[in-house]
Amino acid sequence: MKKLLVILLKLIAVLFVVGALAVFAIIIKYRLELPNIQSMVEDYKPRMATTIYDKNNNVVDVLEAESRDAVKLEDVSPYVKEAFLAIEDKKFYSHHGLHFKGIIRAVLTNFLKGKATQGGSSITQQLAKNAFLTPERTFSRKVKEAILTYQIERTYTKDEILERYLNEIYFGSGSYGIKNAADQYFRKDPKDLNIAEAALLAGIPNRPTKYDPNRSLDNALHRQQIILKEMFEDGRITKEEYEEALAYKFELENEENVKNVPKNTSIIYNRRPKKAYNNPELTTIVENYLAEIYDDEQIYSSGLKIYTTIDLDYQKVARDTFNAYPYFKNKEINGAMVTLDPFTGGIVSIVGGKNFKAGNFDRATMARRQLGSSFKPFVYLKALESGYEPYSVVVNDFVAYGKWAPKNFDGRYTFNSTLVNSLNLSLNIPAVKLMDAVTVDAFKEEMTDKIKLSSEIQNLTTALGSVDSTPVNTAANFSIFVNGGYIVKPNIIREIRDNQDILIYVADIEKVKAFDSVDVSVITAMLKSVVSNGTATKARVVDKSGRPIQQGGKTGTTSEHRTAWFVGITPEYVTVCYIGRDDNKPMYGKMTGGSAVAPMWARYYQTLINKGLYTPGKFEFLENYLETGDLVKQNIDIYTGLLDGPNSKEMVIRKGRLQVESAAKYKNGIASLFGLEASAGGGVYVESSSDGMIIDSASGEGGSSEGGSSENSGGNNVGPSAPSGQSGQSGQVETNKEKDGDSLTDRLLGD
pLDDT tens, residue by residue, 587-597: 987 789 999 99
pLDDT band at 700 (very low <50, low <70, confident <90, very high): very low
Position 636 confidence tier, pLDDT thresholds 50, 70, 90: very high
- Contact between 430 and 417 under an 8 Å Cβ cutoff? The reply is yes
- To which H or E segment does residue 669 belong? none
Pairing of β 631-637 and β 648-654: antiparallel
43-53 mean pLDDT: 71
Q: 698 with 686: CB under 8 angstroms?
A: no
> pTM higher than 0.85 for the full model?
no
Residue range 684-696: average pLDDT?
37
Under DSSP, is residue 153 helix (H, G, I), strand (E, B) or coil?
Answer: helix
| Cross-strand bridge partners of residue 633 | 652
Inter-CA distances, 188 with 182, 193, 206, 216, 580, Å: 5, 7, 22, 21, 35
- 312-360 pLDDT per residue, tens: 999 999 999 999 999 999 989 999 999 999 999 999 999 999 988 766 7
Q: Note whether 440 and 460 are within 8 A (CB).
A: yes
Listed in sequence order, the residues at least 6 apart from 646 whose beta carbon sits closer than 8 Å to its beta carbon are 637, 663
* Helical packing angle, 517-533 and 620-628, nearest 10°: 110
Of residues 132 and 452, which shows the higher confidence score?
452
In angstroms, how far is CA 629 from the centroid of its own chain? Answer: 39
- The reported pLDDT for the residue numbered 69 is 77
Q: Among 503, 524, 470, 566, which residue's Cα sits nearest to residue 651?
A: 524
Highest mean predicted confidence (pLDDT) among 129-138, 293-302, 402-411, 674-683: 402-411
User: What does the alpha-carbon distance between residue 112 and residue 93 come to, in Å, rounded to a whole number?
Assistant: 28
Q: Are 177 and 166 in contact (CB under 8 A)?
A: yes
pLDDT given at position 751: 59
Strand 493-497, strand 684-686: pairing: unpaired
Domains of the chain as residue ranges with CATH: 68-268 (1.10.3810.10), 311-367+470-612 (3.40.710.10), 370-468+629-751 (no CATH)
